[in-house]
Structure 1
């Protein structure tokens, strides 16, 4: 399990972020901090793998928290900034401090889940056996590569606006559900219904999912999707 410390001075925001994190398989929240000092203390005590770190804290900034962690307490902890701060200088400081990514509030739940999935993939690559190749390193550093079709064979290109990370999220939920509509898949992943349907239809075109129509008593028939292909590479 990837251990996460949520750092936000707003209790309700922290609670929402906790729920979003724990919806992604393989992640668990080990604590919450409301101030920079508390974040530093809990990072040293709990030794989390990842911080969800706000910039605006009541005592010191999240960027300063990250800088101090790099210089002492928990130098190997990773940080994903989640904040309303959007000044270019602040973004640069976070980047230079070693932040993995920078998500500006308010954000779509899928944006956070996508970054968590990307982080999970990077850890899998770096902690796995053998020496990583260029494609592996590209994934670690956020390089964009087209997602392969079933079995690694050629297939339809992923449409513009879709990402491999969200595709894996939709795939995982569809496989667990067995069968789902676009609306159900949206509820499971945090994506909008329109986005979820685009991923599902892409999987159908790639031969990795099947769709059937379920007719009700009124209105349009519902499209129901079932995963039939192997896991995405």
Structure 2
């Protein structure tokens, strides 16, 4: 949403910027509603993101089409789950690669984005810290409060083994190796915000590990919660 506002300011070509006018362009009820979206209290629906991006990137051609689709997918990330969220993220990253600005330094690590986007990776990694852990999607699924499909559990397990967070011994047993480290820069912002986002990602990771530990079946239901989902970076 911040990226859309920045684009609107740039399009103003130095003219006085009006958040109220931008809210009307987006089809929102009021300026206050816009502030709630900016504050993370309400989601920006994909259809609204699409219509607003269509106005910001007016005209025709591949750039406009890509920009509209990009912001639509960006908004959808808060609403989609499972395979749909993974497919949207893949398309989002592909659009970013093909149509985003070409810079000399990496903008972000796609593997890290996927890792943060699929929350089941974190509790499965924590389960692997148990002595009785089994690298079996059925065993894993039975011990999580919010249960993934068997296919998702197997995919997460394969990913964790591939990136080195879980090691599988010759006898088939598996165990947790260590925490994942991220190198991220905030999408669609200046490279100078990279350190802020890396800090936020690290804090999210540590906090998310505490949250997912509370999703494992051994923890009483009254103590479980899974409401930590987003990275929020404040601009200074």
Q: Please give the TM-score of this superposition, normalised by the length of structure 2.
A: 0.34
More helix by share: 2
Q: Please give the TM-score of this superposition, normalised by the length of structure 1.
A: 0.34
